[in-house]
Copies of this chain bind each other. A is one copy, B any other.
Amino acid sequence: MPYELYYWDGLQGRGEFIRLALEEAGAAYIDITRESGPGRGTSAMMRMLKDAGDLHTPFAPPFLKDGELLVSHVANILFYLGPKLGLAPEDEGLRYAANGLQLTITDFVCEVHDTHHPIATELYYEDQKEAAKARSISFIDHRIPKYLGYFERTLSNNPAGDKHSVGNRLSYVDLSLFQVIEGLRYAFPRATQLFARQYPLLVALHDRVQERPNIARYLASSRRIPFNESGIFRHYPELDRDAV
């Protein structure tokens, strides 16, 4: 039975971290809101968000249905899927390390979102633009270096080698780091200009992920929604600036 992924139609958003893992593994899945028919489409997702019946109703998308199990939140879904897709470390202790890294990515993604929505999720960007500019300055000057510096060190300190963030083979964390670099480059082309020099291991990881056959095929397909200004990573030139 294919996995059922529930996420907002028309944007990569948080759902993309799940899509990349499913695509890399060549797993069968249905991107529910992007299809039509019974049990498909955005209306099907909204019904589940209102009441998932015997399953635990999730707070928000993305969530994944695997038979009778419903798992919500990116890190939780990847923790669940990782071993099934061969994208988690074999060692159980390292799986907690992977989850810790993924939750660090979660925190960072939340900060990316708040660059354009620092005051209120329910207000338009245009109504919080001044605060967004102030937050973006802090984000570019302080938060990108803090987080990406950490992930760069994680690669460099990995006892199993600097090609992977955890363990000695590709994991969902590596795929998520690809997406982070990709998204930051889309949203902040100026701030990310020197990434290859500042974060060489991360950028090398990004490039290797991009060239993996299943990922390359996916990125070239219509299943990969282009970045846009409905997602997490939005390109508003007025929020971008050169890195210090």
A residues within 8 Å of B by Cβ?
51, 54, 56-60, 63, 68-73, 75-76, 79-80, 93-94, 96-97, 99-101, 103-104, 106-107, 110, 114, 118-123, 128, 131, 134-135, 138, 142-143, 147, 150, 153-154, 157, 159, 166
Contacts and interface: CB of A to CB of B under 8 A. Distances in A.
A220 to B, nearest CB: 32
Nearest to A110: B110
Given A69-B93, A110-B107, A142-B122, A56 B101 contact: yes
A181 B80 CA distance: 29
Protomer copies: 2
A96 B122 contact: no
Q: A-side binding surface: helix, strand, loop or mixed? A: helix
A134 B122 CA distance: 12
Contacts of A159: 54
A135 B118 contact: yes
Nearest to A54: B159
A157 to B, nearest CB: 7
Contacts of A143: 121
Most B CB contacts (10 A, CB to CB) among A57, A68, A70, A120 go to A120
B51 A76 contact: no
Nearest to A101: B56
Contacts of A100: 56, 58-59, 63, 71-73, 76
A120 B138 contact: yes
A123 B138 contact: yes
Contacts of A106: 103, 106
Given A57-B153, A59-B104, A72-B103, A134 B131 contact: yes
A73 B104 contact: yes
A153 B59 CA distance: 10
